Amino acid sequence: MSTPTAEQLTAALATVQDPEIKRPITELGMVEHLEVDDAGLVRVTVLLTVSGCPMKDTIDRDVRRALAGVDGVTGVELTLGAMTSEQRAELQTNLRGGKPAKEISFAQPGSLTKIFAIASGKGGVGKSSVTVNLALSLAKAGRTVGLVDADIYGHSIPAMLGIADSKPTQVEDMIMPVPTPSGVSVISIGMLKPRRDQVVAWRGPMLDRALVQMLADVYWGDLDVLLLDLPPGTGDMAISLGQHLPNAEVVVVTTPQEAAAEVAERAGTMASMLHQRVVGVIENMSFLVCPHCGPSHQLELFGSGGGERVAATLSGRFGYDVPLLGRVPIEETLREGGDTGKPVVDSDPTAESARVLAGIAEHLDGRGRGLAGRQLGLTPSDRF
């Protein structure tokens, strides 16, 4: 057996991505030292972006696995180090690609990222459940998905995705979104607080700064889709979002009853006033399948017609079609999925609620734009 070459080893290391930045570690200046002796023992030093990086174990495992797969490698001695602040500053400059700080790339004219803000009139209608399931469905379809939990009251997204206690890694003043096992990158406004149990009265300028931070200071990379879970109602967050991401499209979630529909219409109208397009309405908790009769008997616990009504009202108001995208039934499996951090489209994909939500994701995905399947004609280094 011949000794592996530096090229072979570097090529193997290039298959290892930083789990947060989602780029090869070889391109990020993370491989500091690499040598191999005549017996095929590889000594490698990999620099983490910060010491105590939460993704340490993943990198450790991936590096060992990649090197072990090279012909002639008999052993791997891996040292994990941490970048110096100079190295971090250099990485940050690289990732930014010379662009100034505080620029929201998604709002730039050439951006290919589709943005969907999930809005509702009132709380508790299932906005966050809808958001995580749409995100996961899109990720399953091969899209690169980012999720911003901008709900200042609840910020329940991390728990619903099983990353409740995760803190984002910070590289200088750039924040790395938290990756989920399902491939969605997440930032929650709750993660910006020093402590989880801290109560912050998010208002006006402070809330605006938090939103800009989540959009501009977070290294999202090239996303196909960005989803935002908005706080219920028509408050400061909706206004800030309208100012910073006028190109966001809005999905309105409502429950079937009259009173919910009325406030949902207001949330939709607010989006339109801010020049955002409302792309559709999702009715949640539409019915419960009768435990005795089965699917032929739907119990309408929360009334009926809300989704249709919001869709019709908004279509009339805006002069374009705002369709009802789907009706999601009440199912225990959906609630369980949220409670256990495994959304229903993953944990029970054949459940009716999962099928409806996956179908809505497919519909939204089909509405043009996005990076997927496009030939961009960029060399890897241009993508920084």
**251 lies in the binding site for ligand ATP (CB under 6 A):** no
How distant, in Å, are the alpha carbons of 46, 49, 104, 144, 370 from that of 244?
Answer: 38, 29, 8, 22, 19
Q: Are 82 and 165 in contact (CB under 8 A)?
A: no
Question: Can you give the length of the chain in residues?
Answer: 384
**154 lies in the binding site for Mg ion (CB under 5 A):** yes
Which two three-digit tokens encode residue 130? 């809808």
Positive/negative CA dihedral, 230, 235, 236, 242: positive
Shorter beta-carbon distance to ligand ATP: residue 37 or 339: 339
According to CB under 5 A, which one of 101, 273, 290, 378 is a site residue for Zn ion? 290
Q: Are 175 and 218 in contact (CB under 8 A)?
A: yes
- What is the distance between the alpha carbons of residues 95 and 98, in angstroms, rounded to a whole number? 8
Positive/negative CA dihedral, 91, 136, 138, 322: negative
According to CB under 6 A, which one of 19, 338, 343, 370 is a site residue for ligand ATP? 338
According to CB under 6 A, which one of 179, 232, 233, 280 is a site residue for ligand ATP? 232
**254 lies in the binding site for Mg ion (CB under 5 A):** no
Which residue in 182, 204, 200 sits closest to 191, CA to CA?
A: 200
Helix axes 204-212, 236-244, angle to 10 degrees: 40
Shorter beta-carbon distance to ligand ATP: residue 156 or 169: 156
Site stretch for ligand ATP (CB under 6 A), options 3-11, 123-131, 264-272, 306-314: 123-131
Which two three-digit tokens encode residue 210? 């938090």
Judged by CB under 6 A, the chain residues 130 through 159 that form the site for ligand ATP are 151, 154, 156
Sequence-distant (≥ 6) Cβ neighbours of residue 100 within 8 angstroms: none
Residue 188: beta bridge partners? 149
Q: Please provide the DSSP assignment of 337-375 as one string.
A: HHHHT--HHHH-TTSHHHHHHHHHHHHHHTSS-SSTT--
Judged by CB under 5 A, the chain residues 123 through 152 that form the site for Mg ion are 128
Shorter beta-carbon distance to Zn ion: residue 101 or 290: 290
How distant, in Å, are the alpha carbons of 27, 50, 88, 95, 220 from that of 30?
Answer: 8, 11, 10, 13, 19
- What is the distance between the alpha carbons of residues 313 and 121, in angstroms, rounded to a whole number? 14
**128 lies in the binding site for ligand ATP (CB under 6 A):** yes
Shorter beta-carbon distance to Mg ion: residue 153 or 320: 153
Site stretch for Mg ion (CB under 5 A), options 19-27, 154-162, 335-343, 348-356: 154-162
Count of residues in contact with ligand ATP, rule CB under 6 A:
21
Residue nearest to Zn ion (CB): 290
**204 lies in the binding site for ligand ATP (CB under 6 A):** no
Shorter beta-carbon distance to Zn ion: residue 45 or 298: 298
According to CB under 5 A, which one of 101, 293, 376, 378 is a site residue for Zn ion? 293
Which residue in 124, 351, 151 sits closest to 237, CA to CA?
A: 151
Residue 170: beta bridge partners? 175
Closest CB 78 distance from ligand ATP, rounded Å? 42
Site stretch for Zn ion (CB under 5 A), options 74-82, 190-198, 248-256, 282-290: 282-290
Closest CB 120 distance from Mg ion, rounded Å? 8
Rounded to 5 degrees, φ, ψ at 163 are -130, 40
According to CB under 6 A, which one of 171, 311, 328, 354 is a site residue for ligand ATP? 328
Shorter beta-carbon distance to ligand ATP: residue 19 or 329: 329
232 makes contact, choosing from Mg ion, ligand ATP, Zn ion, none, with CB < 5 to 8 Å by partner type, with: ligand ATP
List residues binding Mg ion (CB under 5 A).
Answer: 128, 154, 156
Residues making contact with Zn ion (CB under 5 A): 290, 292-293, 297
Residues that bind ligand ATP (CB under 6 A): 120, 123-129, 151, 154, 156, 232, 284-285, 328, 330-331, 334-335, 338, 353
